């Protein structure tokens, strides 16, 4: 059946910058947003329309959206947690994209995090379900959604068993069903980084088996324990061509949550790592990885510290026109490793023990290579794999 349809949102401007210094100039944020717009990313969250009392990093959101240069074909989304925030954002639509109104019931599996993050208990969240469903019925909605935060556990209550979060989904599903509205979308958020690939796989399999009408899946995974990319891979293997997988990531993995007890350690999947994996799996993203990496480097300069991705340091797996010079000097530092974009000037002065140029017949065998090196040697005989 193939892989699911991918809908990706870049969260560096929102989930990323909200955990960084509130003193970052708006002009620097505009430069970063403009750089991201040129990478081929299809959807970028520009920030949050929230009270600066609670999130001072978003205090200049109005100036940001009036100062950046929108790129045709890019959706610019935003986060708003109440009607006042939505009203503020509507004044800038366009360039912001119209908000798609969807009816959904939501709950957090961790009562402690619900109170820390939304100032509401889990019971209060659940008490709001009937009203949300009533609104959907009044609007004539035929489809609804449901979502759970801290699906697999949290730092305050520990692990949430499969049966427990599936029971919570089932309670929501039955309420929608009783109202005559089909559930077609489901969301799973993981602010405290408790996702594990085998658990993500089991949850998705359970959902598809129990509720075949659900074809639209959202995974908002944090990478606090370093396995979120593996969890996305698990999702790609479970879902198929009839499904849609929505996911969010952040350049350099820059992200965090002041309410989860880990701050910047509650990072997200680095967008450059995610896009690289998708491309290597044959899932075309339309993203220029080299421009994306330069945006990561720009972000590192703006926030004043290294970010957490891997591809921004080692570079993508090089194609034939990007293969390394075989007689390049010793590469030891991260700055020298940037030669994959900056060229030989990145390693000027590095130690080089080679007395003669290094050549190899293997370079002529590289996919897409068109011209053999002048000193290439004849390839030795290669062993063949045989069936036993």
Give catalytic residue positions: 257
* Cα distance between residue 187 and residue 103, in whole Å: 12
CA dihedral sign, ordered 270, 275, 276, 278: positive
Between β-strands 75-79 and 153-154, what pairing exists: parallel, antiparallel or unpaired? unpaired
* Cα distance between residue 167 and residue 175, in whole Å: 13
Give yes or no for a contact between 183 and 177, defined as CB atoms under 8 angstroms apart: yes
Residues with Cβ within 8 Å of 205's Cβ and at least 6 positions away in sequence, in order, are 238
Please report, for residues 138, 244, 250, the alpha-carbon distance to residue 17 in angstroms, rounded to integers and kept in the order given: 38, 28, 10
Q: Work out the number of other CB atoms within 10 angstroms of the CB of residue 87.
A: 11
* Cα distance between residue 201 and residue 10, in whole Å: 23
Strands (E), the chain: 5-10, 43-48, 75-79, 104-108, 143-149, 153-154, 158-159, 182-190, 216-221, 244-249
* Cα distance between residue 372 and residue 361, in whole Å: 8
Would you state the structure tokens that stand for residue 283, as one six-digit string? 């899932």
Between β-strands 244-249 and 5-10, what pairing exists: parallel, antiparallel or unpaired? parallel
Give yes or no for a contact between 78 and 46, defined as CB atoms under 8 angstroms apart: yes
The Cα angle at residue 131 between residues 130 and 137, in degrees rounded to 5: 90
* Cα distance between residue 339 and residue 315, in whole Å: 9
Element (DSSP H or E) covering residue 37: helix 26-37
* Cα distance between residue 62 and residue 49, in whole Å: 8
* Cα distance between residue 245 and residue 5, in whole Å: 6
């Amino acid at each position: 059946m193939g892989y699911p349809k991918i809908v990706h949102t870049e969260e560096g401007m929102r989930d990323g910058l909200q955990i960084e210094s509130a003193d970052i100039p708006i002009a620097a944020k505009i430069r970063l947003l403009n750089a991201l717009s040129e990478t081929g990313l299809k959807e970028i969250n520009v920030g949050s329309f929230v009270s600066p009392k609670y999130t001072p990093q978003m205090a200049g959101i109005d100036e940001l959206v009036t100062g950046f240069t929108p790129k045709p074909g890019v959706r610019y989304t935003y986060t708003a947690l109440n009607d006042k925030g939505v009203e503020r954002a509507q004044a800038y639509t366009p360039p912001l994209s119209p908000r798609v109104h969807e009816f959904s019931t939501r709950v957090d599996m961790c009562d402690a995090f619900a109170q820390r993050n939304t100032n509401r208990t889990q019971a209060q969240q659940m008490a709001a379900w009937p009203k949300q469903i009533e609104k959907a019925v009044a609007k004539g909605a035929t489809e609804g959604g449901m979502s759970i935060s801290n699906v697999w556990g949290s730092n305050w209550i520990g692990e949430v068993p499969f049966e427990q979060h599936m029971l919570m989904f089932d309670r929501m599903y039955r309420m929608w069903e009783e109202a005559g509205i089909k559930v077609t979308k489901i969301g799973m958020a993981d602010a405290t980084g408790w996702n594990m690939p085998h658990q993500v796989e089991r949850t998705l399999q359970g959902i598809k088996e129990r509720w075949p009408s659900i074809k639209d899946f959202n995974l908002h995974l944090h990478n606090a324990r370093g396995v979120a990319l593996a969890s996305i891979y698990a999702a790609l293997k479970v879902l198929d061509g009839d499904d849609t997988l929505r996911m969010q990531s952040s350049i350099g993995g820059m992200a965090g949550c002041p309410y989860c007890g880990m701050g910047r350690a509650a990072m997200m999947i680095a967008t450059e790592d995610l896009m690289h994996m998708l491309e290597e799996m044959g899932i075309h993203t339309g993203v220029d990885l080299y421009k994306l990496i330069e945006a990561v480097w720009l972000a590192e300069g703006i926030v004043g510290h290294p970010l957490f991705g891997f591809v921004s340091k080692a570079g993508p797996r090089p194609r034939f026109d990007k293969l390394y010079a075989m007689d390049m000097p010793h590469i030891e530092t991260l700055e020298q490793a940037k030669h994959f974009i900056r060229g030989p000037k990145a390693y000027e002065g590095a130690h080089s023990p080679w007395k003669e140029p290094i050549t190899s017949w293997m370079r002529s065998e590289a996919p897409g290579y068109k011209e053999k090196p002048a000193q290439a040697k004849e390839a030795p005989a290669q062993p063949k794999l045989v069936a036993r």
